[in-house]
Chains A and B, each alone.
Chain A
Amino acid sequence: SQKIEQNSEALNIQEGKTATLTCNYTNYSPAYLQWYRQDPGRGPVFLLLIRENEKEKRKERLKVTFDTTLKQSLFHITASQPADSATYLCALDMPGVNSGYSTLTFGKGTMLLVSP
């Protein structure tokens, strides 16, 4: 079955530094990968989507890379700010159990803490 691994330990960095979060997966080749942000007591909020034929995607201070050979995605936040503190989830598309329609399988998430 599909296995998705994200850094289980919280990542602590100083304001202004670049945060790098890792998402590794096995046993599947997804057509695309998504990253979400989740704040305490709230639902996940979409950040970026990267397709299997894309190496890199950027949005403002965010950058995602996708290496289908290594089965890994890296998520970077440059010039990090305390407001970036949250849990970040990666998700892969997979076909449903019976229907064949896509579902998303999520990693457990990595908590990022940015200190002033």
Chain B
Amino acid sequence: DAGITQSPRHKVTETGTPVTLRCHQTENHRYMYWYRQDPGHGLRLIHYSYGVKDTDKGEVSDGYSVSRSKTEDFLLTLESATSSQTSVYFCATWGQHNQPQHFGDGTRLSIL
């Protein structure tokens, strides 16, 4: 296993509050990804990182920002949470592109 830890595992918060989700990996993988998973939509890429301080947008990046200050940590921030961002968020790492991605167990985020 790639040793991926997501925190928190569950969070309930109110609309308009800032939220930060953390992904920590112990495998020294270069690439890290944030996805959200919603019924009827499957897994959709929010942002990803291809190195320390190097990030790019995914399919559903509006309303989200990310930061990666060191190899092992990738943070996802909702600056002002909205109810449409209620979802399950998964972090993944990728050592090489012809290899599997490794996923954490997700963060269930509810915004009321």
How many residues of chain B are within 8 Å of chain A by beta carbon?
29
Chain B residues near A104 (CB, 8 Å)?
33, 45, 101
Which of A59-67, A70-78, A93-101 touches B? A93-101
Q: Is B112 an interface residue (CB 8 A)?
A: no
Chain B residues near A91 (CB, 8 Å)?
101
Chain B facing A: main interface SS? strand
The residues in B between 72 and 112 inclusive whose CB is less than 8 angstroms from any CB of A are 90, 92, 97-106
Q: A32-B98, A96-B48 are in contact. Are A89 and B43 (CB under 8 A)?
A: yes
Contact status B48-A103, CB under 8 Å: yes
Contact status B43-A98, CB under 8 Å: no
The answer, among A45, A99, A103, for a CB contact under 8 Å with B103, is: A45
Chain A residues near B31 (CB, 8 Å)?
101
Output the least CB separation between A52 and chain B (Å): 11
In whole angstroms, what is the CA distance A108 to B44 when docked? 9
Output the least CB separation between A12 and chain B (Å): 19
Q: In the complex, given contacts A46-B101, A49-B99, what are 20 additional A-B residue pairs having Cβ atoms less than 8 angstroms apart?
A: A34-B101, A41-B105, A42-B106, A43-B92, A43-B104, A44-B43, A46-B102, A49-B98, A89-B43, A96-B50, A96-B56, A98-B56, A98-B57, A101-B97, A103-B33, A103-B45, A104-B45, A104-B101, A108-B42, A109-B42
